Amino acid sequence: MTFIPTALSGVYIINNFNVVDERGLFVKTFNKKNFEELKLNIEIKESYFSVSKKNVIRGMHFQLPPYDHEKLVFVPKGAILDVLIDLRKNSTTFMQHMSIELSETNKRSIFIPKGVAHGFKSLIDNTITYYNVSTEYNSSADTGIHYNSIGFDWQIINPILSIRDKEFQYLDDFLNKNPF
């Protein structure tokens, strides 16, 4: 496992350990010691996955304090364009965004710290995106920002969106009451 710092403070791309042999593929997506060496003390409380059609956009999601959480995201099948924006007022990368492709081919994960909103565009039908998070889901703290208000070019005209994601507040509205 190798950790690559990104342009966003505290966000890491992880090249996961993997082996391909006559049986198939083995990928290690988490090793506590490797994370602790970088002072990334994530304690996984929940794991879940989504299956998305091509051109689905999910996001930009996060939970509010005190239920905010770190996320470890990877794609065991298919491919996504993973997009993040830093909402932490005291961060050196506040309001900056980044994107990276995560796929079954590159076998990468991304570590997302508290206060960074997460979303993605599915690049292939039936893409599976797997999430490990450090807090349990809390419906009153679960929220997001409208995907098309963060200044990122998603390179799509008519994405497939949930009603919930369509109704998220715009970034400028969120900034007026930013709890991070």
Q: What are phi and psi of 148, to 5 degrees?
A: -95, 20
Q: 61 catalytic, yes or no?
A: yes
Q: Per-residue pLDDT tens for 96-127? A: 999 999 999 999 999 999 999 999 999 999 99
The domain containing residue 139 runs over which residues? Answer: 2-175
Q: Of 175, 179, 8, whose CA–CA distance to 93 is shortest?
A: 8
Domain assignment of residue 180, yes or no:
no
Q: What percent of the chain has pLDDT over 70?
A: 100
Asked if pLDDT for residue 17 goes beyond 90, the answer is: yes
3-state secondary structure 84-99: EEECCCCCCCCCCEEE
Asked if pLDDT for residue 180 goes beyond 90, the answer is: no
Domain assignment of residue 150, yes or no:
yes
Asked if pLDDT for residue 178 goes beyond 90, the answer is: no
The verdict on whether omega for the bond into residue 66 sits within 30 degrees of 0, i.e. cis, is: yes
3-state class (DSSP) for residue 107: coil
Q: What percent of the chain has pLDDT over 90?
A: 97
Q: Which residue among 69, 97, 118, 131 is the active-site one? A: 131
Domain count, the chain: 1
pLDDT confidence band for 19 (50 / 70 / 90): very high
pLDDT confidence band for 41 (50 / 70 / 90): confident
Amino acid 151: pLDDT:
96
Q: What is the CATH number of the domain that holds 97?
A: 2.60.120.10
pLDDT confidence band for 177 (50 / 70 / 90): confident
d(CA 139, CA 146): 18
Tokens 């969120």, residue located: 174
Domain assignment of residue 55, yes or no:
yes
DSSP 10: T
Q: Which residue among 12, 61, 97, 147 is the active-site one? A: 61
